[in-house]
Amino acid sequence: MANQLDQLKQFTTVVADTGDFEAMREYQPQDATTNPSLILKASQQEQYADLVDKAIRDSINVESAIDQVLIAFGKEILEIVPGRVSTEVDARLSFDEAGTIAKAHQLIALYEDAGIDRERILIKIASTWEGIEAASKLEDEGIHCNLTLMFSLAQAVACAEAGVKLISPFVGRIYDWYKKETGNEYTGADDPGVQSVQEIYSYYRKFGYETEVMGASFRNTGQILELAGCDLLTISPGLLEELQNSDEPVEKKLDAEAAANADIEKIDLDEKTFRYLLNEDAMATEKTAQGIRAFAADIVKMEELIAEKLG
């Protein structure tokens, strides 16, 4: 029998959640995602030192140097994967619509200057109201976006209404919050993170949204297997290895036709309703804020690393 990774690829587009090129070559994902934490980690590894040094050689300041590093990693990744790479804007712009748009324009321009078609790029933006508004305008320009740090149906609905290309609900971080709050272990279909993605997937199929759903931030292979059939799943190298080393059968759990017939009420969402629903969801409020802080902190660390290299 085929291993679990190969079986999963029959139902779902597999994406590598890493900045490690060798892992991508080994597991042959369709797409790859990065974030500030992953790029920071890779930038500090000896095998990528030449890539970083070359990227920043002609930079005039730290901000432009970081952009060059992001693009350098993105270009290398696109030499390996046949599909798309996600490149994240500075998390400190999460509440700055104009700033997010400007940074996305800069990143896309750098990719296009390097001969990379914008269709192969997803600009990652936090799922704040300002981030979603920025993404809507970018999508109108043909710049596709991946809305990240997503923890609630309200965020997902706002993204779909905005015409966002792809969203990344964070399964593992939702699981972490509920485990800490309740002291319970969650497995299989009882996992709140899994349930969140199932709810979003069903809502999208029910109401005909084209936004792609990509489950992210997994803690174990059980969460991944419960979402077999989701549009995409972005998976870390360690979990990709576990899936590759198992030949247990994989069953398709999410089905578009069944989801389209689900009994779901449509949500009418404007900015006030979005902010209220997000505020009512303690988990989503806390995890979104926590994620933005963590990614912002890693950008600061990268700035320090680059500033040292620039002298």
Q: What is the pLDDT of residues 245-288, one digit of tens each?
A: 999 999 999 999 999 998 999 999 999 999 999 999 999 999 99
For residues 158-184, give the mean pLDDT.
Answer: 98
224, part of any domain: yes
Q: What is the dihedral of CA 266, 270, 272, 273, to 10 degrees?
A: 10
The confidence band for 180, taking pLDDT boundaries of 50, 70 and 90, is very high
Whether the pLDDT of residue 311 is over 80: the answer is no
pLDDT above 90: residue 76: yes
Buried b (16+ CB within 10 A) or exposed e, 124-163: bbbbbbbbbbbbbbbbeeebbbbbbbbbbbbbbbbbbbbb
CATH of the domain at 119: 3.20.20.70
Q: Is 103 a catalytic residue?
A: no
For residue 257, the model assigns a pLDDT of: 92
- Is 311 among the domain residues? no
Mean pLDDT score of the chain: 96
147 pLDDT band (50/70/90 cuts)? very high
* Tokens at 89, concatenated: 């804007």
Nearest Cα neighbor of 81 from 116, 127, 130 is 116
How far apart are alpha carbons 302 and 293 in whole angstroms?
14
Quote the pLDDT of residue 300: 95
The answer as to whether 180 is a domain residue is yes
When pLDDT is cut at 50, 70 and 90, the band that residue 58 belongs to is confident
Confidence at residue 40, expressed as pLDDT on a 0 to 100 scale: 83
Residue 251: exposure state from Cβ atoms within 10 A (0-12, 13-18, ≥19): exposed
Q: How far apart are CA 131 and CA 301, in angstroms?
A: 23
- Identify the pLDDT of residue 31: 97
Residue in 9, 124, 253, 287 annotated catalytic: 124
Mean pLDDT of 179-183: 97
- CA–CA gap between residue 285 and residue 182 (Å, rounded): 17
pLDDT of residue 36: 80
- Mention every residue, 6+ apart, whose C-beta is less than 8 A from residue 287: 149, 151, 170, 173, 174, 177
The whole-angstrom separation of Cα 14 and Cα 25 is: 13
- Is 102 within a domain? yes
Q: Is 273 a domain residue?
A: yes
Predicted confidence band at 221 (pLDDT cuts at 50, 70, 90)?
Answer: very high
123 falls within a domain? yes
Determine the Cα–Cα distance for residues 53 and 66; give it in Å rounded to an integer: 11
Q: Is residue 310 part of a domain?
A: no
By percentage, how much of the chain surpasses pLDDT 90? 88
Domain count, the chain: 1
- Domain membership of residue 185 (yes or no) is yes
Q: Which helix (H) or strand (E) holds 253?
A: none
Domain that holds residue 183: 4-305
**Average pLDDT, stretch 193-211?**
98
Confidence at residue 38, expressed as pLDDT on a 0 to 100 scale: 86
